[in-house]
Amino acid sequence: MALDRLRNLANSEKARRLADVLIVCILVLMNAWIAYQLWGVLSDDFAITFRVSYNFSIGRGLVYNPGSHYQSTSAPGYAFLLGVIGWMFGKGSITIAADLLSAVALFAIGIGTYVLGRKRHWFLGAILAISVTAIPLVWWAYDNEFLPQLALVVWGYVLMERRPTAAAVLFAFAVVVRPDAALALAPALGLYIWRYRKFPVMPAIAFLCVILPCAFLVWRQYGHFLPDTMGAKAARLLAIQRHDKRGTTFFGHQVLQWMEGYIPLPDPELWLYLAVLGAVVLLIRLRITSLVALASWIALYYAFYAGYYKVYETWYYAPVGLGLAMMVSCIFFELCRWAATPKKYARIAASTALAIVAVLIADQLYAYFHSMVSTAFILNASTGLSFLVLGILAFGVLAFFCWLSVKYLLPWTGGEKGKFSAPVASAPGIVAACFALDLMAGFLDGDLRMAGSRATLVRTTLYTEAGKWLDLHVRPGVTVGYTEIGFIGWNAPNVVIMDPLGLGSPAPREFIQRAMKWPVRTQR
Amino acid sequence: MKPDIIIGHPLLTPAVFSAYTERAWPKDHFVDRFPWWYPWFRSHYALLPGDYLRKLNLAHGEAIEFYYRKDIPMKQLLQ
C-alpha cells in the first residue's frame, strides 16, 4: 500500500510541479559550478573567432587577416555578435561575453531538454537535463559557438509544436550562428509535414526573413555564403588517411578497422551510421516522440561530420554528448518502467548493463594504451593521477546505486521485488552508476578538458608571449606562418598570419582542394 | 605563397610550412616530423639569430623557433 502511494505521488501533478522548481535550482547550481571551473579556459581555435570579432569591432570587417575577404570562422553569426560586444565594450569583453554566452546556453540546453523529456515523464526530463549539463563531452565546446547553437536548436524543437513560426526564427538564428545548423531543419520540416500534411508557409517566411539579409551581408563581405573552413577539415581527413588513423580517437572505429583485415567489412563508418539510426528507431519504438527530432538531428550531424572524422575530437563532441546523455537517460528510464514485467526486464537490463560495462572496460584499456593520442570516448578523466581515487569512489557509487535501485526505484516503478534476484534488479543501478561515474569524473577532475590541461596552459602562455613579441617586432605587411593561429593571432592583431590548413588565409586551400579533387575556387 | 616568418617547435616540425607549396600536397602531409622535403625547407628558411629569441622570454623551458625567408633581408622583416 505504501508503495502504491509512492507510485501515485510520483505521477501526480504535485510531484511534477515540485520537479519543475527543483530542476531549475539544480541546473542553476550545476551551471554556476561549471562556469566557475571553465571560466576563461580557452582552446586555441576559439581565439581565431575572437580575432575575427575583434577585427570587426575596430572596423576591419569580419575577417581574420586585415584586408582579406576570407571567412576564417565557421561561426559568422557568433563572431558578429561578439564583434558588436567588442565594439561596445572593448577587446577584453569579447572573451568574457563568450564565457557568459556559453553559461547561459548550457543552462538553456538543460531547461530545453527537461521540457522535451517532460512531455514523456518528468523523471525522464530530469535525468536528461542533469546528464546533458554534467556530461564532459558537452563542456568541450564551452566558450565557442557550439553551445549557443545547440541551445537555439533545442529550443527550436521545444517550440516546434505550439509556435512553429517562433521555432523557425530560432532555427534561422542557429544557422546564422553556425551554418551547419541547417541540418536541424530537416527533422523539423519532416515532422511538421508528417503531422499537419502541409508545408509550413508562415514559418518558412519567418525563416527567410532572418536568413536572407544575413546571407546578403555574408555574400557582400566574402563573395559566397558558406565558411571557408571545410578545406581545413578536409586537410585533417587527408592527414588521418595517410597516417594510420592517428587523428581517430574513437576506439570502436579502430577495432572495426583492425577487423577489416580478417573479415570482409563494408566501410566502417556504415556501422556507426546504422547504430545512430537504430537509436532514432529505438526512440520511436519507445514512444519518446518529443526527443525524436533532436535525436534525428544528432544522427544527421554525426553522419555529416563522421565523413571528416571531426566528430571524434574536441568540441565536435558536444552534440554527440547530448545524444549520449539522451540515450542513457532513455535506456535508464525505460528499464525502470519495464520493471513491471520481470522476464523482459531481466533480459534487457542484463544485456544493457553487460554491454555498457564492456564498453567502459574496453574504453579504459584503450585510453590507457593510447592516452598519448587524445582523450578517449568516455571516462576520459579517470585515466590520469585521479584513477585511484575515482576507482575507490566507483565502488561506492556502484554499491549505492544498486542498493538505491533495488530498495526504492524498482518497486516504485511497478516491479515486484520477490520475483527475480537482486543482482538482476540492480542492473539499472549499474547503468546509472557507470554514467554517474563518468559525469562525476568530469566534475571532479579539473584537467578533464584538453584546454584546461597543464600542457595546454603552458602552450597557451608560450603562444601569448610569441604573439605579443610578433606584434612588437614584425614590420607591417610581413606574413607569419604557424600551425595553431588562435592565441598567436589574438595577441598579434596587426600581423598577417597564415596556417597550412588554410584557416587564416586562402593560399594553401587550393592545394587541399586539388588533393581532395574538389572544384578549386579562387578567392577574390 | 610562402610566409615571410615561420614559427616552429623543434619537434613540432617547422617544416610543416612547406605545405604552403604545392609539392607537399598530396604527396605528403604536415604531421610528418622529418619528411623528405625538410632539406628543401631549410634551403629556403633560416633560423632567426639568438638576439631576437632572447627578447622573447621563453616560458617553461619549451623552445620556440622563428625562421625567416633567406631571400628577404632580415631587417626588412623585423624592427
- What residues in chain B have their Cβ under 8 A from chain A's Cβ atoms? 1-8, 12, 16-17, 19-20, 22, 24-26, 28-31, 52, 55-60, 62, 64, 76-79
What average pLDDT score do residues A15-26 get? 91
The confidence band for A392, taking pLDDT boundaries of 50, 70 and 90, is: very low
pLDDT of residue A154: 97
Q: Which residue has the higher pLDDT, A21 or A12?
A: A21
Of the candidate ranges A168-182, A273-287, A500-514, the one whose mean pLDDT is the lowest = A273-287
Contacts of A458 in chain B (CB under 8 A): 59-60, 62
Which of B2, B27, B30 has the most A C-beta neighbours within 10 Å, making it the best mutation to test the interface with A?
Answer: B30
User: Which of A296, A291, A293, A256 minimizes the C-alpha distance to A276?
Assistant: A296
Q: Please check the confidence at residue A267 and state whether its pLDDT lies above 70.
A: no
In this complex, do B16 and A238 lie within 8 Å of one another by their Cβ atoms?
no
| Total-model pTM | 0.77
Q: Please check the confidence at residue A498 and state whether its pLDDT lies above 80.
A: yes
Torsion sign (Cα): A74, A76, A79, A81: negative
Compare CB distances from B31 to A243, A482, A508 and report the shortest one's residue: A243
Contacts of A243 in chain B (CB under 8 A): 29, 31
What dihedral do alpha carbons B73, B50, A481, B18 form, nearest 10°? 80
Torsion sign (Cα): A365, A368, A370, A375: positive
pLDDT of residue A436: 55
Residues 6+ apart with CB under 8 A from A3: A411, A412
pLDDT of residue A68: 82
Average pLDDT, chain A: 73
Q: Please check the confidence at residue A489 and state whether its pLDDT lies above 70.
A: yes
Please answer whether residues A311 and A305 qualify as being in contact, where contact means their C-beta atoms are separated by less than 8 angstroms: yes
Alpha carbon distance A78, A61 (integer Å): 14
User: Which of A11, A285, A19, A7 minimizes the C-alpha distance to A130?
Assistant: A19
What average pLDDT score do residues A70-83 get? 91
The confidence band for A429, taking pLDDT boundaries of 50, 70 and 90, is: low
